[in-house]
Amino acid sequence: MPIPGNLLTTAMAVMPQTDVNQALELALTLDVPFWPQLPNYSYYEDMYVQAAEHFPGMVLDIQKKTLRFSMDKFINEYEEMMSHFDDPSYFDISTQYSVVYHEFLKKDLADRPAIRGQLEGPVSFGFNILDQDDRPILFDENIRPFMLDFMAKRINVQLARLKQRNENAFMFIDEPGLQFIFSAMSGYGERQAKEDLDMFFATLDGPRGIHLCGNPDWDFLLNLDMDVLSMDIYTNAEIFSSYTTSIKKFFDHGGVLVWGVVPTGYELFAKESLGFLCLKLEGIWQHLSRNGLDLDQILAGSMLSPATCCLVNPDKGETVENAFSMVNHLSEMLREKYKLV
């Protein structure tokens, strides 16, 4: 089933709330709800920790809030993991690693236009997790292929579970690390990343795509074989809108863009208004229309969301809650203006 567009709303998963029910209720205020990730509630709810469940070799210290990798531990645990390779429940997220996920699955979600899940992607996971020599495991030629297969298995299992609750479920692969591969200092080049991600997406069930808040090479990203791209357009509007050829190709292949337009940072949110954000978004669409894209196609293939995750606001979850509300108001205003069903 296609991912719904028509300026429906969703959001990134990482939220500052510490109350599970409050976070879930907030996620359910959006058209396309998701299960929140709440690292302030528990370190198990951290996106890297959740992705690491059952990954052989992980050294997790909940008290110190650290996650590392040991090759010796990997060797000792690999056979045990492989003995469960045909058991989907082994690759799902357990209640220990996310109370929120399992509470979300208890909700009546069948009447929603879609629902969404997420898991940390292999590039970001591989950059973030260091081995016994303080080296990112992404650089290990033996571990990286296994990591791609392991993450694909976990994403497919979660998507199948979500589709039991709503047949239009889809997945975000969270990849904040993708913006770093285009630096000469990354040690993991664009060519290798393209090869790995092409192989990775070929093994994923759909619909699926990437969420990130950074500023990567948009040509690279828009030409991956994916169904949805979620981004921070509030910060990257001018740069992103210059990639008209790739954006048009993405829409022509049925892709959906999630425009992250409402800031969630305390100071940025305080100085914005609904009217200004509406003008900002429509300005991008008008620019794209002048450069060969059809406005109706853009609207049909677009969703709206907050711009970024934010865990550090002085008011804790209040600004994020207000940003969710503003996204819904912006959607209502634009859907009425453009007569979208």
Residue pair 49/67 in contact by the 8 Å Cβ criterion: yes
Q: What is the DSSP string of 312-340?
A: --TTTTHHHHHHHHHHHHHHHHHHHHTT-
pLDDT at 279: 97
Average pLDDT over residues 91-114: 97
Residue 58 belongs to a domain? no
Lowest mean pLDDT: which of 37-46, 134-143, 172-181? 172-181
List Cβ neighbours of 97 (8 Å cut-off, separation of 6 or more): 44, 45, 49, 50, 53
What domain count does the chain have? 1
In sequence order, the β-bridge partners of residue 230 are: 211, 258
pLDDT in the model for residue 83: 97
Residue 131 has pLDDT above 70, yes or no: yes
Residue 273 domain-assigned (yes or no):
yes
The Cα 26–Cα 46 span in angstroms is 19
d(CA 21, CA 295): 38
**pLDDT, tens only, 317-337:** 999 999 999 999 999 999 999
List the single range of 2-6, 29-33, 69-73, 228-232 with lowest mean pLDDT.
2-6
Q: Answer whether residue 209 is part of any domain.
A: yes
pLDDT confidence band for 196 (50 / 70 / 90): very high
**Which CATH number belongs to the domain containing residue 227 in this structure?**
3.20.20.210
Residue 23 lies in a domain: yes
Q: What is the pLDDT of residues 280-318, one digit of tens each?
A: 999 999 999 999 999 999 999 999 999 999 999 999 999
Residue 171 lies in a domain: yes
* DSSP tag of 93: P
246-275 tens-digit pLDDT: 999 999 999 999 999 999 999 999 999 999
pLDDT in tens, 26-75: 999 999 999 999 999 999 999 999 999 999 999 999 999 999 999 999 99
- Residue 211 in any domain: the answer is yes
- Give the number of other Cβ atoms within 10 Å of residue 337's Cβ: 11
Residue 60 lies in a domain: no
**Predicted TM-score (pTM) of this structure:** 0.96
Greatest alpha-carbon pair distance for the chain in Å reads: 60
Q: Mean pLDDT score of the chain, rounded to an integer?
A: 96
Q: Which domain does 284 fall in, by range?
A: 8-39+101-337
Query: Given pLDDT bands bounded at 50, 70 and 90, which one contains residue 144?
Result: very high
3-state helix, strand, coil in the chain (%, to 5): 45, 15, 40
Tell me the mean pLDDT in the region 69-95: 97
Task: Give the whole-angstrom CA distance, residue 117 versus residue 104.
Answer: 10
Who wins on pLDDT, 111 or 1? 111
∠ CA 94-95-101 to the nearest 5 degrees? 90
The reply to whether 271 falls in a domain is yes
Cβ pair 335, 41 in contact under 8 A: no
pLDDT at 190: 86
- Residue 184: pLDDT band with limits 50, 70, 90: low
